[in-house]
Chain A
Amino acid sequence: MRQLPRVLHPGAWWLWALGLATAASRTTNPIVLTLIAAAAALVVARRRSAAPWALAFRLYVILGAVIIASRLLFRIIFGGGGGAHLLFTLPEVPLPEVAAGIRLFGPVAAEELLAGLYDGLRLATMLVCLGAANALANPKRLLKAVPAALYEAGTAVVVALSVAPQLAESVLRVARARRLRGGAGRGLRALPAILLPVLADALDRSLALAAAMDSRGYARAGATPSRIRAVTGALVVAGLLGVCVGVYGLLDATTPRLIGLPVLAAGLAAAAAGVALGARRVARTRYRPDRWRAAENTVAGCGIGAGALLYLTATVDPAALYPSLYPLAWPQLTVVPTLAALLAAAPAWLAPPPPVERPTTPATVDSRRTAEAVR
């Protein structure tokens, strides 16, 4: 079965990635974690588009490596001696009495190092999963999928996101132009010379954008009375706050039970009511909205399935997911986590491939230069 190349709903990729991240959070087994990260990387390699945001995956992988390295480093610096298998001993730095309980350097044991590695690997894998979602789904399209009641806020976020590269471009341009005046002054004294033109530029640009948006119909009231709009907004915001508080209550075992489920339910209800009310006023339409079809179900299902499999294993057979450090033992790979990893990698074949970019005329010097500089 060859699938038609198309862009998948960004929500599907995010659900898949969150499923993988959940799976990763349930284990410290380095083999399982490596498999999950490899699955994410495989899917990214096979299903990402040529768009600029797709290049961000590399950054997440690098960040993951930095996390692992720093975990190991910390274990070495702040006492890694808790274990039977001593690897090497560093000269210990004597600390005053006040810092009792803290040790600098000294003996380093394999157990401690491995604990740091497992821990770092888990965090890095979760990060790589989120990076995969970012690389596979256009973050701005996800914002477009927000309910109609949040449309205005969504647009504001999109505009804010596009300001960052513009600012970077302005800063580069002005910094370069400063050399033309001799580049006098360094450090703080140079700041106004760069900051003032950049800010003036940004202000001019925002005014132009605001005027353009206004003349193109942004925030048209249409026939909706302003009171209904106010009610919609209030409901949605209150609902979302409720959801946040509710989720916190559910996850944090120390909060009273009352703050958990009831608040979550109330928040969801309020948000749903607001969204429904907002959708009733048909003052706006969507151009080519991302549709949720079978492939979206498959991709989301793969991620959630992988997460669920490990979640279950963690309760049934925790030994397979948390390899023993005391005594030191080889991590084992059992059947269920293997299946989970395979399931996680399945979208590499099951998801439709991204549409191929047609060859186009080369970009202009300026834009390329900007892209280069921003990257």
Chain B
Amino acid sequence: MDFEKKLTRLEDIVEKMESGDLALEESLKLFEEGIRLSRDCNVQLTDAEQKVKILLGVGADGEPITKDFTAAE
């Protein structure tokens, strides 16, 4: 599931839970899912392994030809 879908699902869940007329069991299930989604989203935003490349050229298919880049301190 991509980031946007996760976010939309998370918002759905919050809305559902706020509507309030859920059985306890169901709301617990949603709660768990919501926590998991928010964690996933956050990971995607902050903890993903960031790939920084320096461009050497661009292939005919639009794919960049690169190598890893680290900025000199």
Q: Do A and B bind each other?
A: no
Please report B residues at the A interface, Cβ cutoff 8 Å: none
